[in-house]
Structure 1
Amino acid sequence: MGFEEMWAALLPVGRDEATGGYHRFAWTPHELACRAWFLDEARRRDLVVEHDANGNMFAWWLPADGSRGDGVLTGSHLDSVPGGGAFDGPLGIVSAFAAIDRLRERGAAPARPIGVAAFAEEEGARFGVACLGSRLLTGAIDPARARALTDGDGHTFAEVLHNAGLDPDAIGPDEDLLGRIGCFVELHVEQGRALWSDGRGAPVGVASAIVPHGRWRFDFRGEGDHAGTTALPDRRDPMLPFAGMVLAAREAAERNGAVATVGKVRVVPGGVNAIASSVTAWLDARGPEDEAVRRTVAEVDEAARVAARPHRVSVDLAEESYTEIVDFNLALRDRIAATLGGPPVLPTGAGHDAGVLSARVPTAMLFVRNPTGVSHAPAESAEPADCLAGVDALTAVLDDLARG
């Protein structure tokens, strides 16, 4: 089955026919269908399937001697953000299987294992922590904290794992698995239009770094009351300081050369004719350096507290995840760039499993250009010819790296 057939098989899964957006949250029926697709593709190729305790899946093409060490791993993730695009994550996995097919068609005999990974809960759309599967694998998050994470319906991560047939008490770092990964190369759709703006017309680029980024939760607590019978001076309305916090995020980001977004909010009780008793809002902040991001968040926090005082509303701030700047392995990056004949090298503001894994193994990324520049939305796109160019590039990289 070629790239086009595999892509067509995945395309309808979790797609909202009205908006074109995807809803593939971790361990929900749509994402489970994607997992089943992954296992079918692995078995169709007689790859050795491996599951770790954290919900990550791996499919290995072993060398003739059956050795399992120093593997060349590629792949990405299958889950999505709410209403996301088709390419973010799945493009890297479909391309990985297609690259293995091309190597086999050429009669390649790799000296190192080649693996395809599907990492769990990369987007953090269900449990709030991005790259949860790779963070657990590498020890970047405490397993006890992960088990206690809850989704929007109040189900804990531990409960969901148990229902999926996994042991929640077994999650955490897997030193044996990490020790068998020699390097990781993730192919991903570009989230932005830098390749289109580069001027060279290159369909594929190589990542240099991932900028610092994180998520913070603001909890505003006031007092619920009747919208029609409560005088304005008597209200403790958390929506007002929340609104101030949203405006402050934009202003702080502009001052510090960063970006800040409030894209998720939860209002309790959520009635049209009721004053809210509490508001929970999530801030996403990213910037060129750690100081710019930290300063942005601190300024938003201070502005929220100032806005809350006149309304007698309390404010609590919690950091849910943070990743410092990731500079991808220079030797691996340069080797890949040389293999591909000098493609554009560019940084990205988007987080990826490759960034998390970089703390433990050499990692690199390839980007396939996106004509719209849009991501995390239905307009996310990549031309068929560029997708195939991405498969060509990944095939060449795997062929080079798997030789030793």
Structure 2
Amino acid sequence: MSAAALLGAISGVGKDPVRGGYSRHGFDRVELDLRAWFTEEAARRGLGVETDRNGTLWAWWGEPGDDAVVTGSHLDSVPGGGAFDGPLGVVAALAAVDLLRERGFTPGRPLAITVFPEEEGGRFGVACLGSRLMTGAIDPAAALRLSDPDGTTLAEALAFAGLDAARVGRDDAALARIGVFVELHVEQGRGLIDLGAPVGLARSILAHGRWRLRFTGEGNHAGATLLADRRDPMLPAAGVVLAARRAAAAVSGSRATVGRIIPIPGGTNVIPSTVDLWLDARADDDARTRAVVADISAAAAELAETEGCAVTVTEESYGDAVHFDPTLREDLAGVLGGVPQLPTGAGHDAGILAAHLPTAMLFVRNPTGISHAPQEHAEDADCEAGAAALADVLAHLAR
């Protein structure tokens, strides 16, 4: 079955009528429906499916074993995200299995497809949560305390999904199963469009992280409180949005984004008592990323003091720059006939796993250059080219 047809089969799942696009979040009802769909598709192909203790799905071609060739991605999205980010890597893996079987290929080493949960962090705020738990990159007790905007904790969400929260955490047995990991993903940028290529390889991932800034002031009446008497935390929060752009512009190649602000209590005619603001910052390396965040944090402290407010800055997740295994990357470039090799500013489960084992990423051309939005796109022909390239890579690695 083609990758495009498989994507079409889930095109109606998780549509967001307010934001547009899709809202599919870790262990919510929509993502659980998608996990059930994947399990059914894997079973149709005779793949044995299991769920590990951190909620990652594994679909095995043949018997499970260590030193396996593993591919896959995720099925969750950002709020109002596109149709391709995550699911394309999953459906391309299924389509690649179909292609390999049509060619009469039989793996000479274990081969599996994985689906990692909560890669986007759209529900619990920490990106690549499944792979971070597997590798021990996040403390399991801290992870279980994470909560979504409705107050549901990760522990409660795992229980809803039928998983035992007491078992989450670093899983050395699962890591030992992965001899090499290859993730296919829609490109999140314009690199392949500008190069006129349908498929490419990832060279590196920017250092990146998420920080929460909490501004605390004094809640009061919007009409009855004179400007001179206010301690309004929205003012320093608004200033930080602008400070983030200035700080990033001052460091070559860096990015800083405020994509989420929550005032409390949130009434139109109420001066908020607290404003929570989330900052996403990225740059070529750790030093530059930290420098941007330090600049923004200093501006936040100054702005808060001017308004008579307080501010705290909390790091919620962080990943250093990733340089994908050069030996594996050059090997796969040879298999694929010298496709372009590109850096990316987006984080991925492959980037988390790269600290523990050889990983690689394939990109499929995105003609809009837009991602994390409904306009994200990939042409059917490019999706099939990506699935075929993935099949070639898996055949090479799993002989």
- TM-score for the superposition, normalised by structure 1: 0.97
In 2, the alpha carbon distance for the partners of 1:51 and 1:193 equals 35
2:269 counterpart of 1:273: yes
2:307 counterpart of 1:311: yes
Deviation at 1:86, TM superposition (A): 0.2
Q: Which amino acid aligns with 2:5?
A: E
Deviation at 1:19, TM superposition (A): 5.5
Deviation at 1:42, TM superposition (A): 1.0
Write out aligned runs for 1:192-231 (5 A).
192-198=189-195, 201-231=196-226
- Match among 117, 131, 136 for residue 134 of structure 1: 131
Q: Which amino acid aligns with 1:301?
A: S
In 2, the alpha carbon distance for the partners of 1:170 and 1:81 equals 26
Deviation at 1:16, TM superposition (A): 2.9
- Give the equivalent residue in structure 1 for 2:347: 351
- Give the equivalent residue in structure 2 for 1:400: 396
RMSD between superposed Cα atoms in Å? 1.0
Which digits, 9 at most, give the CA deviation of each residue in 1:218-274, with x for residues without a partner?
000011000000111111100000011111000000001211000011110100100
Q: Which amino acid aligns with 1:207?
A: A
User: Secondary structure of the residue that 1:347 maps to in structure 2?
Assistant: strand
Deviation at 1:301, TM superposition (A): 0.5
Deviation at 1:148, TM superposition (A): 0.6
- Give the equivalent residue in structure 2 for 1:71: 68
- Give the equivalent residue in structure 1 for 2:356: 360
In 1, the alpha carbon distance for the partners of 2:75 and 2:311 equals 35
- Match among 158, 161, 169 for residue 155 of structure 2: 158
Task: Please say if residues 67 and 112 of structure 1, whose CA atoms lie closer than 8 Å, have aligned partners that are also in contact.
Answer: no
Deviation at 1:8, TM superposition (A): 1.1
Give the paired residue count: 398
2:112 counterpart of 1:109: no
2:274 counterpart of 1:282: no
In 1, the alpha carbon distance for the partners of 2:92 and 2:299 equals 45
- Give the equivalent residue in structure 1 for 2:337: 341
2:256 counterpart of 1:260: yes
- Give the equivalent residue in structure 2 for 1:80: 77
Which digits, 9 at most, give the CA deviation of each residue in 1:253-306, with x for residues without a partner?
000121100001111010010000000000000111211111110010110111
User: Secondary structure of the residue that 1:338 maps to in structure 2?
Assistant: helix
- Give the equivalent residue in structure 2 for 1:92: 89
Task: Please say if residues 3 and 88 of structure 2, whose CA atoms lie closer than 8 Å, have aligned partners that are also in contact.
Answer: no
Deviation at 1:69, TM superposition (A): 2.1
In 2, the alpha carbon distance for the partners of 1:215 and 1:136 equals 17
- Give the equivalent residue in structure 2 for 1:235: 230
Deviation at 1:17, TM superposition (A): 5.0
2:378 counterpart of 1:378: no
Task: Please say if residues 286 and 320 of structure 2, whose CA atoms lie closer than 8 Å, have aligned partners that are also in contact.
Answer: yes
In 1, the alpha carbon distance for the partners of 2:121 and 2:308 equals 32
User: Secondary structure of the residue that 2:250 maps to in structure 1?
Assistant: helix
- Give the equivalent residue in structure 1 for 2:33: 33
- Give the equivalent residue in structure 2 for 1:56: 56
In 1, the alpha carbon distance for the partners of 2:218 and 2:203 equals 48
In 1, the alpha carbon distance for the partners of 2:76 and 2:393 equals 25
- Give the equivalent residue in structure 2 for 1:181: 178
- Give the equivalent residue in structure 2 for 1:329: 325
Counting aligned pairs with the same residue, the percent is 59
In 1, the alpha carbon distance for the partners of 2:151 and 2:27 equals 15
In 1, the alpha carbon distance for the partners of 2:269 and 2:255 equals 34
In 2, the alpha carbon distance for the partners of 1:128 and 1:383 equals 31
Q: Which amino acid aligns with 2:115?
A: A
Deviation at 1:209, TM superposition (A): 0.6
Deviation at 1:18, TM superposition (A): 6.4
Q: Which amino acid aligns with 1:262?
A: V
Deviation at 1:160, TM superposition (A): 1.0
Task: Please say if residues 4 and 383 of structure 2, whose CA atoms lie closer than 8 Å, have aligned partners that are also in contact.
Answer: no
Which digits, 9 at most, give the CA deviation of each residue in 1:332-357, with x for residues without a partner?
11111000010000110000000001
- Give the equivalent residue in structure 2 for 1:42: 42
- Give the equivalent residue in structure 2 for 1:191: 188
In 2, the alpha carbon distance for the partners of 1:338 and 1:310 equals 58
Task: Please say if residues 212 and 293 of structure 1, whose CA atoms lie closer than 8 Å, have aligned partners that are also in contact.
Answer: yes
| Runs of 5+ consecutive residues of structure 1 not aligned to the other structure | none
